[in-house]
Structure 1
Amino acid sequence: MDALDVPLPSDAIYGRCDTMLSDTLVQLRGDAFAIVDGRGVVVSWSPGAERLLGHTAAQARGLPGASLLLSQADAARIADLRPAEGSAFLGASVLRHRDGHAVGVVMWAHPFARDEAEQWLVQAESVEAVRRYELRQALLRGLFTESPFIIDVFDSRLRFLAQNHSRSRAPGFAESVIGHTMREVAPAGLLDMSALEERQRQVFASGKALIGTEVHGRDPREPDRDAVWSESILPLRSSSGEVVALAHMVFDVTEEARARERLDLVNAASARIGSRLDVLDTARELMDVVVPWFADYAYVNLLDPVFGGEEPVSGPVSETVSLRRAAEAMLPGEPVTMVVGTGEIDPFSTVPDSPTARALALGKPLLLTGQELNAELSTLDLRRAAEIRERGVHSWLVVPMHARGAVLGVVVFARFARAHPFEADDVLLAEEFVTRAGVCIDNASRYTRERATATALQRSLLPQRLPVLGGVETESRYLPATGQVVLGGAWFDVIPLSGARVALVVGDAGGRGLHAAVTMARLRTAVRTLAEQDFSPEELLTHLDGQVTRLRGEQPDGPGAAPSPTCLYAIFDPISQSCTLATAGHPLPALLTADGEAEAIEIPVGAPLGTGGIPFQCGELTLTDGDTLVLYTAGLSRPWGDSEDVRARLCTALSPQRPGPAPQISGWSGELGGLCDDVLRRLLPDRLQDDVALLLARIRALAPECHAARDLAAAPESVGQARAWVAQRLAAWGLEELAFTTELLVSELVTNAIRYGTPPVGLRLIRDRSLICEVSDGSSTSPHVRRALDTDEGGRGLFMVTQFAELWGTRYHTRGKTIWAEQPLALSTDTDDASSTTPTHRPGEGGTGTHGVGLGGG
Structure 2
Amino acid sequence: MDIDDAAEDARPSQVAAALIDRRGVVVGWSRAAERLVERPAAEVLRRSVLRLLTDPEAAHAGRLPDSGTTTLRCGSGKTVPVRYRVDGLRNPAFSLVLAVAADQAAESERDAALSRALLGQDSIGFVLRDADLAVVRSNLTRGAFAGPPLPVGSRLSDVMHPADAAGVEAALRGVLETGAPLAAHEQRVRSARPPYGEWSLSVSAMRTQDARGRPTGVAVLFTDATEHWQAERRRELRHRAAADIGGTLDIGRTAQDIVDTLVPDFADVAWVDLADAVLTGDEPPKTFGGGDLHLRRTAVRSADGPWPPGLLQPGEPVPPFPDLPVIRELQEGRTIVTDREALARGLTAAHLRLAVPEGGHSMITAPLFARGLVLGLVAAWRTDLPEPFEEGDTALLAEIAAHSALGVDNARRYTREHRAAVTLQRRLLPQACTSTRVMETTGVYRPASGGAEIGGDWFDAIELPSLRTALVVGDVTGHGLHATATMGRLRTAVQTLADLELTPDELLAHLDDLVFRLAGEADPAQRDVVGATCLVAVHDPVAGRCTMAAAGHPPPLLALPDGQVAEVATRPGPPLGVGSLPFEATTVDVPPGSVLALYTDGLLQRYGTDLGATTRDLTSRLAQAQSTGGDLTAIAQALMAGSGTRPPRDDAAVLLARPSPLEAGSVADWEFPADPRAVASAREAATGQLAEWGLEGNAFATELIVSELVTNAVRYAGGPVGLRMIRDEVLFCEVTDPSNTQPRMRRARTGDEGGRGLFLVAQLSRRWGSRYGQTGKTIWVEQEPAE
Q: Normalising by structure 2, what TM-score?
A: 0.73
Q: Which residue in 2 is equivalent to 1:698? A: 658
- 1:199, distance to aligned residue in structure 2 (A): 4.8
CA contact (8 A) 2:331 2:374 kept: no
Q: Which residue in 2 is equivalent to 1:148? A: 123
Q: What is the identity, as a one-letter code, of the residue corresponding to 2:566?
A: E
Out of 175, 190, 206, the position equivalent to 1:200 is: 175
Q: Residue deviations 1:706-743, cap 9 Å, x none?
A: 22223456566655665565455456556566555544
Out of 729, 733, 744, the position equivalent to 1:784 is: 744
Given the superposition, is the C-alpha separation of residues 143 and 583 from structure 1 closer, same or farther in structure 2, using an over 3 Å criterion? Answer: same
Q: Residue deviations 1:491-538, cap 9 Å, x none?
A: 333333332222223333445566655665565455445444434344
CA contact (8 A) 1:531 1:540 kept: yes
CA–CA separation in structure 1 for the residues paired with 2:323 and 2:786: 66
1:705 partner SS: coil
CA–CA separation in structure 1 for the residues paired with 2:410 and 2:593: 49
CA contact (8 A) 1:191 1:216 kept: no
- 1:694, distance to aligned residue in structure 2 (A): 1.2
Given the superposition, is the C-alpha separation of residues 537 and 372 from structure 1 closer, same or farther in structure 2, using an over 3 Å criterion? Answer: closer
Q: Which residue in 2 is equivalent to 1:369? A: 339
Q: Residue deviations 1:283-336, cap 9 Å, x none?
A: 222232334444444433222210211133446467323222212334535673
CA–CA separation in structure 1 for the residues paired with 2:756 and 2:763: 11
Out of 795, 800, 821, the position equivalent to 2:755 is: 795
1:561 partner SS: helix
Q: Residue deviations 1:139-190, cap 9 Å, x none?
A: 9986553552123467999898865579317554335x7xxx9769988968
CA–CA separation in structure 2 for the residues paired with 1:819 and 1:214: 92
Given the superposition, is the C-alpha separation of residues 158 and 584 from structure 1 closer, same or farther in structure 2, using an over 3 Å criterion? Answer: closer
CA–CA separation in structure 1 for the residues paired with 2:573 and 2:490: 17
| Sequence identity percentage | 38
Q: Which residue in 2 is equivalent to 1:336? A: 308
Q: Which residue in 2 is equivalent to 1:310? A: 282
> Are 2:771 and 1:811 equivalent residues in the alignment?
yes
> Are 2:787 and 1:820 equivalent residues in the alignment?
no
- 1:695, distance to aligned residue in structure 2 (A): 1.3
CA–CA separation in structure 2 for the residues paired with 1:388 and 1:623: 66
CA contact (8 A) 1:636 1:684 kept: no
Given the superposition, is the C-alpha separation of residues 685 and 552 from structure 1 closer, same or farther in structure 2, using an over 3 Å criterion? Answer: farther
Out of 240, 258, 273, the position equivalent to 1:286 is: 258
Given the superposition, is the C-alpha separation of residues 754 and 339 from structure 1 closer, same or farther in structure 2, using an over 3 Å criterion? Answer: farther
CA–CA separation in structure 2 for the residues paired with 1:485 and 1:761: 55
Q: Residue deviations 1:70-114, cap 9 Å, x none?
A: xxxxxxxxxxxxxxxxxxxxxxxxxxxxxxxxxxxxxxxxxxxxx
Q: What is the identity, as a one-letter code, of the residue corresponding to 2:660?
A: R
Q: Which residue in 2 is equivalent to 1:688? A: 648
Given the superposition, is the C-alpha separation of residues 711 and 390 from structure 1 closer, same or farther in structure 2, using an over 3 Å criterion? Answer: closer
Q: Which residue in 1 is equivalent to 2:619? A: 651
2:411 partner SS: helix
Q: Which residue in 2 is equivalent to 1:89? A: none
Q: Which residue in 2 is equivalent to 1:173? A: 150
1:257 partner SS: helix
CA–CA separation in structure 2 for the residues paired with 1:259 and 1:628: 66
- 1:261, distance to aligned residue in structure 2 (A): 3.4
Q: Which residue in 2 is equivalent to 1:768? A: 728
- 1:447, distance to aligned residue in structure 2 (A): 1.1
Q: How does 1:726-765 map to 2 (within 5 A)?
A: 726-727=686-687, 729-730=689-690, 733=693, 741-765=701-725
Q: Which residue in 2 is equivalent to 1:323? A: 295
Name the count of aligned residue pairs: 675
Aligned-residue CA RMSD (Å): 4.5
> Are 2:451 and 1:484 equivalent residues in the alignment?
yes
Q: Which residue in 1 is equivalent to 2:465? A: 498
CA–CA separation in structure 1 for the residues paired with 2:161 and 2:509: 90
Q: Residue deviations 1:541-600, cap 9 Å, x none?
A: 455556666776888999993497443332221011022233344222111122433222
Out of 310, 323, 330, the position equivalent to 1:353 is: 323
> Are 2:441 and 1:474 equivalent residues in the alignment?
yes
Q: What is the identity, as a one-letter code, of the residue corresponding to 1:404?
A: R
Q: How does 1:153-552 map to 2 (within 5 A)?
A: 167-168=144-145, 171-175=148-152, 191-192=165-166, 194-201=169-176, 205-206=179-180, 210-219=182-191, 222=194, 225-233=197-205, 248-314=220-286, 316=288, 319-332=291-304, 336-338=308-310, 340=312, 342-346=314-318, 348=319, 350-353=320-323, 358=328, 361=331, 363-378=333-348, 382-385=349-352, 391=358, 393-395=360-362, 397-416=364-383, 421-463=388-430, 468-486=435-453, 488-510=455-477, 520=487, 523-541=490-508
Q: How does 1:834-853 map to 2 (within 5 A)?
A: none
Q: Which residue in 1 is equivalent to 2:600? A: 633
CA–CA separation in structure 1 for the residues paired with 2:350 and 2:227: 39
Given the superposition, is the C-alpha separation of residues 398 and 681 from structure 1 closer, same or farther in structure 2, using an over 3 Å criterion? Answer: same
Given the superposition, is the C-alpha separation of residues 403 and 731 from structure 1 closer, same or farther in structure 2, using an over 3 Å criterion? Answer: farther
The range that moved more, 269-278 or 516-525, is 516-525
CA–CA separation in structure 1 for the residues paired with 2:279 and 2:520: 45
CA–CA separation in structure 2 for the residues paired with 1:703 and 1:791: 47
- 1:433, distance to aligned residue in structure 2 (A): 4.1
1:327 partner SS: strand
2:636 partner SS: helix
CA contact (8 A) 2:186 2:203 kept: yes
Q: Which residue in 1 is equivalent to 2:88? A: none
CA–CA separation in structure 1 for the residues paired with 2:156 and 2:445: 72
- 1:452, distance to aligned residue in structure 2 (A): 2.1
Structure 2 regions of 5+ residues with no counterpart? 3-109
1:274 partner SS: coil
- 1:677, distance to aligned residue in structure 2 (A): 1.2
- 1:697, distance to aligned residue in structure 2 (A): 0.8
Given the superposition, is the C-alpha separation of residues 187 and 550 from structure 1 closer, same or farther in structure 2, using an over 3 Å criterion? Answer: closer
Q: Residue deviations 1:672-696, cap 9 Å, x none?
A: 1221111111246553333322111
Q: Which residue in 2 is equivalent to 1:29? A: none
Q: Residue deviations 1:182-220, cap 9 Å, x none?
A: 769988968345324335337x734xx543212233325
Given the superposition, is the C-alpha separation of residues 334 and 607 from structure 1 closer, same or farther in structure 2, using an over 3 Å criterion? Answer: closer
CA–CA separation in structure 2 for the residues paired with 1:515 and 1:532: 26
Q: What is the identity, as a one-letter code, of the residue corresponding to 1:681?
A: A
CA–CA separation in structure 2 for the residues paired with 1:219 and 1:184: 10
Q: Which residue in 1 is equivalent to 2:8? A: none
Given the superposition, is the C-alpha separation of residues 434 and 576 from structure 1 closer, same or farther in structure 2, using an over 3 Å criterion? Answer: same
CA contact (8 A) 1:319 1:361 kept: no
Q: Which residue in 2 is equivalent to 1:567? A: 534
- 1:259, distance to aligned residue in structure 2 (A): 4.2
Q: Which residue in 2 is equivalent to 1:679? A: 639
CA contact (8 A) 2:186 2:200 kept: yes
> Are 2:670 and 1:710 equivalent residues in the alignment?
yes
Q: What is the identity, as a one-letter code, of the residue corresponding to 1:376?
A: G
